[in-house]
Amino acid sequence: MKDIVRQKIGINVDVMDLLNEQIAKEAHSSSVYLAMASWCDHNGFSYSAEFFYKQSAEEREHMLKIFKFINENGGTAYSPQVSNISHEYNSLQDIFETALDQEIQISKSINNIVTKCRKVQDYGSESFLQWFIQEQMEEENQFRRILEMFDLMGTDGLALKFIDERIKHD
Amino acid sequence: MNLLYKSYFFASYQCDHSRSFYIDFGHKQIKLSFCQLLAIRQKLQAIDISSHFDMDLNSGGIEILSLCNREHLFVFDTLQVIDLKQLIKATFGILELNSLVAH
Ligand SMILES: [Fe+2]
Ligand SMILES: [Fe+2]
């Protein structure tokens, strides 16, 4: 019997499922960052707002990267549904902490897919995901550095203004 | 045509010659590209069978499935859905096994 599946698709089908789940996660991240941008805008942190608009666009790019990878290799990418986006935050610090937690979850999720790739010997997908592993480390670090500013400066009005200004240069 | 899997109600086949797949639904047999087979798999995975046992969520215990860009329309009851889920799962299992021995 011919291996028609392999002729049609270059990636493992179970890995494809996980990549589709990842698409939904990136889309969710993108929407969460948009909500955060809105909160920052309303609360007078215009540089942070700008920062989160940019983050949101980046997450959408990540989503598209995976989306195209699946389709280009003979799989089917599914356009994600996004729900459960909170717009309520206690403070600017709360926002950045939530953002870091979200990035950590995404890193874990990517690692999980890489583990699966190795298990089923889908080295093509594994090598595709290397870029994401690097990207996640950078994003986590970026949020870590911003949170350190809160540790250093405190959270009074002046400190928050200063931190917001600094985020412009990030 | 190679039989891939036979469940209680349905059966799946691979046709090497046309490089396609067939599912025998009993009253009709439909030809599927690999892409379409993936689409069926996705649709069945998305069905939450536990909703069939909840009077509020799915009181009729019925699923309406359109396949191959709405070329075919099927109405399945709970048992058929469970059986079809099993068929697709096992079919992909056999296909994966075939990949392993083919290389
Ligand atoms: Fe991302
Ligand atoms: Fe990110």
Alpha carbon of A94 to ligand 2 centroid (Å): 17
Contact A3 B99 (CB under 8 A): yes
Residue A66's pLDDT band (cuts 50, 70, 90): very high
Question: Tokens 């940019």, residue?
Answer: A54
Residue A34 in any domain: the answer is yes
Shortest CA distance to A133 belongs to which of A56, A62, A78, A79? A62
Residue A3 in any domain: the answer is no
* Residue B72 to chain A, least CA–CA distance (Å): 20
Contact B35 A1 (CB under 8 A): no
In tens, the pLDDT along A124-145 reads: 999 999 999 999 999 999 999 9
- Rounded to an integer, the average pLDDT of A147-165 is 94
CB A87 within 8 A of CB A155: no
Nearest to A4 among B19, B39, B41 (CB): B19
Q: Report which of residues A110 and B27 the model is more confident about.
A: A110
- What's the half-sphere exposure (Cβ side, CA atoms, 13 Å) at A9? 23
Nearest to A6 among B2, B38, B99 (CB): B99
CB A14 within 8 A of CB A43: no
Distance CA A89, CA A67 (A): 31
Residues from chain B contacting residue A13 (CB–CB below 8 Å): 38, 41, 92, 96
**Type of residue at B8:** Y
Contact A5 B95 (CB under 8 A): yes
Nearest to A8 among B34, B98, B103 (CB): B34
Host domain of residue A40: 11-76+87-167
Host domain of residue B98: 2-102
pLDDT of residue A169: 66
Alpha carbon of B99 to ligand 2 centroid (Å): 35
ipTM score of complex: 0.89
Confirm or reject contact between A75 and chain B (CB < 8 A).
Answer: yes
pLDDT of residue A170: 63
- Rounded to an integer, the average pLDDT of A93-104 is 98
CB A109 within 8 A of CB A22: yes
Confirm or reject contact between A79 and chain B (CB < 8 A).
Answer: no
Q: What is the pLDDT along chain B (103 residues), one digit of tens a residue?
A: 999 999 999 999 999 999 999 999 998 999 999 999 999 999 999 999 999 898 888 888 899 999 888 889 999 999 999 999 999 999 999 999 999 888 6
Confirm or reject contact between B95 and chain A (CB < 8 A).
Answer: yes
Domain count, chain B: 1
Residue A5 in any domain: the answer is no
Among A42-56, A154-168, B81-95, the range scoring the smallest mean pLDDT is: A154-168
Residue A164's pLDDT band (cuts 50, 70, 90): very high
Distance CA B5, CA B7 (A): 6
Question: Tokens 């019925």, residue?
Answer: B62
Among A115-119, A123-127, A152-156, B6-10, the range scoring the smallest mean pLDDT is: A152-156
Most B-contacting residue of A1, A2, A3, A4 (CB-CB within 10 A), to test interface: A4
8-state DSSP, B68: T
- Rounded to an integer, the average pLDDT of A50-73 is 98
For residue A48, what is the domain's CATH number? 1.20.1260.10
Confirm or reject contact between B46 and chain A (CB < 8 A).
Answer: no
The two tokens of residue B76 are 């399945």
Shortest CA distance to A89 belongs to which of A37, A136, A153? A37
Residue A6 in any domain: the answer is no
pLDDT surpassing 70 at residue A118: yes
Domain count, chain A: 1
Contact B14 A9 (CB under 8 A): no
